[in-house]
Amino acid sequence: MSTDKMLAWAGLVIGLLGLIPIVRDASVQVRAAYLIALALLIVTFTAIAFTGRGPNYQTLLARKVLTIMDTGGKLAEIRSEQTIRVRYGSLDGIWWNGLTADGTFTDPLANGQPPVQSKRFGTTLSYYFEFPPPLSRGETKKVVWSIKAHNSFTDNNEAFLHDTKPWTKKLEMEVNFPEGRPSRNPKLHVEVAGSYIDTLEDPTNNGNGRQLVAKVNRPKMGHVYSLDWEW
């Protein structure tokens, strides 16, 4: 908890203690008014305290687009369009976390520029995009990540995954296929820690299998949404 919030809670407690002798000697009507004011204060301070918990930004829209460029699945582009809003404090930058796939990644970009930092944990990659200047509370920003994936979608059964971050309001997933090799039997299911949880409504199939689109309102934090297909 920040120093300002600690001082605010201390002031509230001291103020309540000071009201005890006043309320004790007051009429019923005055006591009722004090109780209503007290309830409002508690609700207000609780709301203020909880706005500082969790990540300091929310994702209004997470839109992930996979475009497979050849019939062998040897070259593809992944785009992640993330519209965010700062919940409290300021935001210097944002990570694109948890990139993993068969094959290799090249040419990562964030809003057309190379990321300022990257890290690898096993086969998982993450990239950091910096905001110049930092975003303040209430500000929104759209970050468009892109990266090339090599030899990552070469099997007959494939999947495009999204690991949901906290405070995500809407998720959209899209997969585009090359001419001459459309998709078949698309499905959308949910996993947690690698374990199957549920199957959701089938993705929309456009262009006779040339495009799959799935939309999820308020996806659950920590859930992995998997758009699967045969081709």
pLDDT, tens digit, 9 for 90 and up, residues 199-208? 999 999 999 9
| Span 92-110, pLDDT tens digits | 999 988 788 788 899 999 9
Residue 188 has pLDDT above 90, yes or no: yes
Count of alpha carbons within 13 angstroms of residue 123, beta-carbon side: 6
- Six token digits for residue 22: 């006043």
Q: In sequence order, which ranges of 52-94 are alpha helices (DSSP H)?
A: none
| Span 23-48, pLDDT tens digits | 666 677 766 776 787 777 676 655 55
- Six token digits for residue 134: 């930092």
| pLDDT value of position 145 | 93
| Span 107-136, pLDDT tens digits | 999 998 899 888 888 778 899 988 888 999
Q: Are 173 and 160 in contact (CB under 8 A)?
A: yes
pTM for the model stands at 0.75
| Span 50-106, pLDDT tens digits | 555 567 899 999 999 999 999 999 999 999 999 999 999 899 999 988 788 788 899
| pLDDT value of position 19 | 63
